[in-house]
Chains A and B, each alone.
Chain A
Amino acid sequence: MRLADLPFPFESAPGPAAVGFAEVTADQWQATAGRLRSAGATLVALWAADRRDLHDGFEIRAAYALEDGLACLRLPLPAEAPDYPDLGRHFPAAGRMQRAAFDLTGVAPLDPADGRPWLRHGAWPAGAHPLRRDVVARSVWPAVADDYTFVSVSGDGVHEIPVGPVHAGTIEPGHFRFSVVGERVLRLEARLGYKHKGIEKRFESMSLDEGVALAGRVSGDSTVAFAWAYAMAVEQLSGATIPPRAAALRAMLLERERVANHLGDLGALGNDAGFAFGLAQFSRLKEDWLRLNARFWGHRYLMDRIVPGGLTDDLDDAHLPVLARQVHDLADEVVRLRRIYDDHAGLQDRLRGCGVVSNDLAQRLGLTGLAARASGMAVDLRVGRAVPPYDGLDVRCATRSEGDVAARAAVRFEEVAESLRLIGLLAETLPDGPTRVAVPSARQGACGIGRVEGWRGEVLVFVEAGADERIRRCHPHDPSWQNWPLLEHAILGNIVPDFPLINKSFNLSYSGVDL
């Protein structure tokens, strides 16, 4: 389905990313969701905003990925009863986003399947909504009782294993409630939100220029993806066009981020299966990779390099041969390590058939990113109608059909190889010219959406400009929103000790969804 097929006019955003904005009525909101669902479109993000200070009530927005671009629908809601038709019945992924939107703004779906709080863990009372405009950012509420009810499973021999939010290792906090019989998992329910930091509220006190630093800290392992998506949104709403050299350098950073994370994950997957050799080898490769980042870009994880209008620093052309050589050497090493992984019977026994997400389930629940590609969904923003420089790179989409841990590892291996090819190609064909342009001042109320294929999946950042070049509303969306619920399905029928491996094969962000 294409944007033009929808029965209301779209206002097309300028710039390379195909994004259309439209305002809808409550009936259209619901009917469109049904049509999009049956046409195979996916819900990318959903967020709400308080506009009562503009005498405009509230609004809820949903972003759908269509064949030829992104459709951002806005449904205005009255201030006194901000309810909207539930999207959860069409798009299961909407459930948690709607719960989060309610906790933050008080905008509620009508008759949702799950009405429990999501981000509110008792740090603020039930009636308070911290993202409303009339709430002071520094507000401190008395802690209230946190009475979250998990779905319980009963039966002969069924018992629960609560895990986290404090874990035995140094990892991010999340609570996992397993209902098991012996070692077999009957149900898993995850509870996140332990890292809620009020990022969206903080954006509202920043200027459009400052916001990129915060966007780059939504999820530290995806800092390039978030910063680029944010910069893309600001460039779109202000009508700036970045020079080709800036686009190529941004892509180089994004691919370097992808390679770094994939290398880390491949090592960790080996380690979680008791194969520490893999961790040692991949950690070594990742460390060398990060050190080169620090040498050429001044930051191991490439934070704060991308800004609206381009990049902070140019890359010295004298470095390009070094980059090309590193890419070449790494590609060889990864091929050798992949052979060891593939030939190791014990390791393959752990990875294959473990944590299977079928293609049907992935489609139904709207899986995204590398996990979706491992379940046979060919979704990649870098392929097809891509923004520059990807439109000229002919990116190969790595897909697998098995949907198990081994498939997610294989997709990572293939994406590392492809990213290395892309970096080499970008280094070879790096255009000359400036790497930064001035961003024209933004009109108050202008909106922009940036979408970037981060290493986990599609990162989306929505920005609405306020008065005086300030941010009125910024919503960063991490692909983990879509993929966390799939983890609960992937573990079903598996055994408890396989959970860490399955979890690591997704490697989802806690920080990115807790905001």
Chain B
Amino acid sequence: MLPQYALSQLLEALFAVVVAPLALGWVNQCRAWLQNRRGPGVTQPYRVIAKLFRKEVVLAHQASFLFRAVPYLVFGCMVLATGIVPMLATALPFAPAADVIALVGLLALARIFMALAAMDTGTAFGSLGARREMLVAALAEPALLMVFFMPSLIARSTSLTTIVETLAHQRVAVHPSLAFAAVAFVMVMLAENARIPVDNPGTHLELTMIHEATILEYSGRHLALIEWAHALKLLVYATIGIALFVPWGIAEAGHWGALPTAVLALAAKLLVGGAALAVTETVSAKLRIFRAPEFLATAFLMAVLGMLTHLLLEATA
């Protein structure tokens, strides 16, 4: 049993690392289409990452060890996160070791080190970005935890695999609480992945940047890893969303035969989700930065409402 599980774990992480840039490319391509542009094609993120790996690394003189280590650390955190989230199958040996709270912690760890690295070079933009990033993080993380607690209440477990198995296999039941949670989750996802309306991933205006400002000093393979990690993060969030709110089609532990269906189901969900994200971004303008707290407070409120709904309407004594 164990080697089989290990294989499934390894395959899933590998799958995520390979597919993540494609998912990002799909979102960008959809955005381009929606803006009447031809777009660079869905494989553009691969080309960008490959190009950056070939470029030399330019380091600021005052950059410390931390600055150089962080890209690897962030990338590592994201790969680990893909190991916890049931993407194709629920058979994940890491999963019992790390529940949703650990997952939130893992994402926070990457973010904190990113912010530290941004401040490490001592440039004005790095600190500016780090400051804004922490502002968003401090508000997004509680909201994310609340979102996770709701399915946890339904499944009576904080382990993602258990939640997914419960939700995917229970009798068809309507959970109004999950609808609230889904809205909250999408809002948090937009904020955490530096998407419009909270941040603008395509901007060249250094004064308005949040996430981009923290990585301005990075170049070469460091930047490639960060960009890759960024794509992974988007995939992690997307698959969390899928696992929590539309888990159907995922392969159960030990069912290798269900894997092709699971791959197809995931691909279809990602295609639809990516297009939906692109539509959201296209019809929105970026929020003034001090509206971001309001935005995330709304997400938190949604999550709390969902939880209340669950306790009042759905909880069985």
Contact = CB atoms under 8 A, between A and B. Distances in A.
Contact of A280 (B35, B124, B285, B288): B35
A284 B36 contact: yes
Contact of A274 (B34, B124, B207, B286): B286
Contacts of B164: none
A321 B36 CA distance: 29
A276 B207 CA distance: 18
A63 B206 CA distance: 38
Contacts of A124: none
A167 interface: yes
Contacts of B207: 161, 163, 496-497, 499-500
Contacts of A500: 205, 207-208
A344 B34 CA distance: 17
B45 interface: no
A304 B31 CA distance: 39
Interface string B269-293: 0000000000000111111111100
Contacts of A167: 204, 206
Q: Which of B36, B284, B285 has the most CB of A within 10 A?
A: B285
A276 B125 CA distance: 24
Interface stretch (A346-354, A366-374, A436-444, A462-470): A346-354
Contacts of B290: 183, 495
A349 to B, nearest CB: 7
A163 B288 contact: no
Interface in B193-220: 196-197, 200, 202-208, 216
B285 A344 contact: yes
Contacts of A284: 36
A86 interface: no
Contact of B128 (A161, A275, A344, A350): A161
A277 B35 contact: yes
A499 B286 CA distance: 14
Contacts of B171: none
A281 B283 CA distance: 13
A347 B287 CA distance: 8
B288 A349 contact: yes
Contacts of A170: 204
B37 interface: yes
A160 interface: yes
B128 A496 contact: yes
B289 A347 contact: no
A276 B124 contact: no
Contact of A160 (B124, B204, B208, B284): B124
A277 to B, nearest CB: 6
Nearest to A344: B285
Contacts of B37: 280
A498 B207 CA distance: 8
B206 A163 contact: yes
A280 B287 contact: no
Interface string A328-353: 00000000000000001011011000
Nearest to A273: B285
B203 to A, nearest CB: 7
Q: Which of A281, A344, A497 has the most CB of B within 10 A?
A: A497
Nearest to A176: B207
A151 interface: no
B297 to A, nearest CB: 16
A272 interface: yes
B288 A497 contact: yes
Given A284-B36, A350-B285, A495-B290, A276 B202 contact: yes
A145 interface: no
A155 interface: no
B119 to A, nearest CB: 13
Nearest to A183: B289
A169 B204 contact: yes
A168 interface: yes
B206 A350 contact: no
A503 B262 CA distance: 50
Contacts of A34: none
A274 B128 contact: no
Interface in A196-239: none
A146 to B, nearest CB: 20
B216 A346 contact: no
Q: Which of A162, A277, A349, A496 has the most CB of B within 10 A?
A: A277
A81 B124 CA distance: 44
B282 A277 contact: yes
A163 B288 CA distance: 20
B282 A276 contact: yes
A274 B288 contact: no
Q: Which of A284, A499, A500 has the most CB of B within 10 A?
A: A500
Contact of B203 (A159, A183, A274, A495): A274
Interface string A250-290: 00000000000000000000101111110111001000000
Contact of A169 (B205, B284, B287): B205
Q: Which of A182, A276, A277, A346 has the most CB of B within 10 A?
A: A276
B287 A346 contact: yes
B135 to A, nearest CB: 9
A276 B31 contact: yes
A16 to B, nearest CB: 43
A281 B35 CA distance: 8
A496 B128 CA distance: 10
A167 B284 CA distance: 26
B204 A280 contact: no
A476 to B, nearest CB: 30
Interface in A131-165: 159-163
Contacts of A168: 204-206, 216
Q: Which of B128, B205, B206 has the most CB of A within 10 A?
A: B205
Top 8 closest pairs, chain A to chain B, by CB: A274-B286, A169-B204, A346-B285, A280-B35, A500-B205, A275-B285, A497-B208, A347-B285
Given A277-B34, A496-B207, 11 more contacts: A161-B125, A162-B124, A274-B197, A276-B35, A281-B36, A349-B287, A495-B289, A496-B128, A497-B208, A497-B289, A500-B207
Interface of A: 159-163, 167-170, 182-183, 270, 272-277, 279-281, 284, 344, 346-347, 349-350, 495-500
6 contacts: A270-B285, A274-B285, A277-B35, A349-B288, A350-B286, A497-B289
Interface of B: 31, 34-37, 124-125, 128, 131, 196-197, 200, 202-208, 216, 282-291
